[in-house]
Structure 1
């Protein structure tokens, strides 16, 4: 006997859409077909759309910033909001700051997640001090323990790595089969612009966008790609915001470089104009929102597959003295913590834009929000699709339900949504995590700590191509030990 049957829905994967029942037993999908038999519980999905649970592979949860501010969400509040929005797996960060031991950092984040996570999770490792011990001892151990991805910053004074350090980490990751994810912006351009703007009194939130030149994104992406090509290390470029950035990734992929890119709802639905509001600090994130032309270019990049995923980059800071207004009611753009909430809104925003508005196919929605991140981050054996044997992470959508997003409806701890006033068509009605109904009719039915850690290696995407640059090719006697 089945534990749960989702009956009569329109079931979508990244490849197909079919009307069928989904049979679930012991937390996994056991059967797909018509007229499945008796079950302990049946959900009527007639007239509904059934998709895999979303995977948000870039979000900041219970994370301490380099300036000492902890973001507003705990694992409990963040994953609660994720579940209510149709996301069943997250990959946040174990964030090393300078002077911290990476083993201690990872242990502490696991402790937070074990107490609070409501949905399943993995962890990216943020590396800010690539010492010899970290590279030769800690990363091998942590990757072996299931932390198959590393994040680097090319900007921020307290976080960034210099090019030589980036190469050290890329080389170490190649040997370990780990994916490397990067915040790619030109640090020198940003620093130079910030100083000149503030010196001239241009301090309002809207000048945050000016301080992050669009050319700085494309330049950093190009430089990163060159470094990755040198040592043949696959990379994921986070939160691409500009047409030029997407074009740089497209060109590299066209010549066979193993580079992936993601973008975020803030770059698909918001523009720089948001920062010129009286409460513009709410929209200060890095990179900043850009222009409508960039939105069009990013959508085209998603349609072509130049960009693979859409993540929230959830970085919640409350709009009060604990977060965005920590420096006072009228902070300079440099004093405003960067980031905005988005875990809960990501899936409904994308369903509305892709499915309800007909911009792309239902299969594309599944690919971008679930299947591609599962494949890139080596979760595809368990997550990212509705297929026999996979975890029963399923969302039943009321495709006709219209919801206007507003601050008073948010479930995270930031207290506001960047998309207030926007109406979406399509809303998660039922959310199933490993066969258990955890959301129904807007109510959460899961306890903090019931989410599970998902150990993983670097995945198929992180396998090197074998094509070292000539400088490192041992067949040409250039010293293989350098790689």
Structure 2
């Protein structure tokens, strides 16, 4: 007799659909089979039973940046995630100015404790201002269950030079951690932005020019090359189009341990969104910016074929008024970048990927949770429906039809870049470790029950050999 049984569902597994009940005990999946008995049960007839999603790139309750505060804390953000079928988040433990990466983690742990309705981990963040003891900081993070560290190649106060990136990669390799990179060439962006402003080109659409693909392509190539030299594991975040994606592919062909991540905004939106009024265009201001329709199509194919490994939201919860420049003489350079997406990440993938036939079931499952779990050290408990793993489960109604309206979503952000988009399929019941958070479309959790998830380090054999350890006669 199980504590809970999910009956009559169509269970999604990478090897295919399984008509089975799921028995749950102690928050974990205890059995898969027909006719299971339980003290409680949920009838999943007509629904698809999928693993809870893992969104491993999002921003919540960060220190103020660019004069704007994040609208979502761990309460509102985690509720939004749950309504979108996501049961685990890995946001960034962003340090405040003048503080270390470890202090950034301590701040994030304090701000999240007792507030999240889903489970969560953290990525550390290293900047030029987080201190010179990178080795010790990265090892401390890994020892606390945070074996991943982000670095930015652009943004004032964040942009890291090659020396810092290589030092971080060496430290991450020693601590068996993964380096996450925002890859855009800061000097190129500053140069082009300055020339645009000098020429009086100030409207938001010039964000597309300042952040054009060459800046991303070059930085992606550079990161992959530095990872090749250091023997590091790296993830290139929010890959926006073909050219940068192909840089990752070429590196992988050379044996570099680098993967690409993309986000819904790069697959479903293109540069034409900036053709409207400034206030409308602000809803689509994110970095790197959107590219062309050909890039959209390429990214879909790359996702389907496994050449892009990760699908994340890059949820950046800034209110529309905070994104827009605040003075009459302000420009695109003064606007705040970032869009929300926690709640729409999986429904968009389900509707436009799985149901539209662009993705196989196996690829959908890998992109929704499994690959993030494996890459970031959660695969011993999350990411799949399998005996022994956490009972993080979402029941989806594939027949549901709905339209994205920001007022119907659960984030505190007052807009969505996908406003008005029609979606097929929706999660209706979402369980965290066997307990309903959302049931029949309603929040039913009486209190936040999300727990910090200390993640395991990467396997030693997942790191290539650094350049200096090659035999001299074998170096090419």
Alpha-carbon offset, residue 390 of structure 1: 0.2
Quick check: 1:371–1:384 contact (8 Å CA) kept in 2?
A: yes
Q: Which residue of 2 aligns with 1:151?
A: 150
Find the aligned partners of 2:36 and 2:180 in 1 and give their Cα distance. Answer: 42
Q: Which residue in 1 is equivalent to 2:301? A: 300
Aligned residue runs from structure 1 range 349-428, under 5 A? 349-428=348-427
Distance of 1:105 and 1:250 partners within structure 2 = 33
In 1, the alpha carbon distance for the partners of 2:399 and 2:448 equals: 33
The equivalent residue for 1:337 is 336
Secondary structure of the equivalent of 2:386? coil
Contact in 2 for aligned 1:144/1:457 (Cα 8 Å)? no
Deviations 1:167-212 (Å, cap 9, x if unpaired)?
Answer: 0100111101000000001111111111111111111111111110
Alpha-carbon distance, 1:166 to partner: 0.5
Q: Secondary structure at the match of 1:67?
A: coil
Q: In structure 2, what is the equivalent of residue 277 of structure 1?
A: 276
SS at match of 2:113: helix
- 1:310 corresponds to 2:311: yes
Structure 2: tracts of 5 or more residues without a match? none
Written as runs of structure 1 = structure 2, the 5 A alignment for 1:36-47 is: 36-37=36-37, 39-47=38-46
CA RMSD of aligned residues (A): 1.9
SS in 2 for 1:273: helix
**TM-score under structure 2 length normalisation:** 0.95
Tell me which residue corresponds to 2:7.
7
Query: How do 1:169-318 residues align onto structure 2 when only pairs under 5 Å count?
Result: 169-278=168-277, 279-318=280-319
What residue in structure 1 maps to residue 455 of structure 2? 456
Which ranges in structure 1 are unaligned for 5 or more consecutive residues? 478-483
Q: Which residue of 2 aligns with 1:118?
A: 117
- Paired position in structure 1 for 2:93: 94
TM-superposition CA deviations, 1:334-377 (whole Å, max 9, x none): 11111000000001000001222111212211111110100010
Determine helix, strand or coil for the equivalent of 1:420.
Answer: coil
* Of 401-410 and 452-461, the range deviating more from structure 2: 452-461
Cα deviation, 1:51-97, whole Å, max 9, x if unaligned, reads 10000000000112443422111110111100011000000011124
Q: Does the 8 A contact of 1:246 with 1:307 survive in 2?
A: yes
The structure 1 segments of at least 4 consecutive aligned residues displaced by more than 4 Å after TM superposition are 130-133, 328-331, 474-477
Partners in 1 of 2:132 and 2:197 — Cα distance? 39
The structural deviation recorded for 1:329 is 7.5
Q: CA deviation at 1:328?
A: 4.2
User: What is the TM-score when the length of structure 1 is the normalising length?
Assistant: 0.94
CA shift for structure 1 position 130: 7.1
2 CA distance for matches of 1:23 and 1:124? Answer: 33
Describe the shift of the 1:179–1:99 C-alpha distance in structure 2 as closer, same or farther (beyond 3 A).
same
Residue 253 to residue 475, structure 1, CA distance change in 2 (3 Å): closer
Q: Distance in 1 between matches of 2:151 and 2:447?
A: 30
Please state how far the C-alpha of 1:317 moved relative to its aligned partner: 0.8
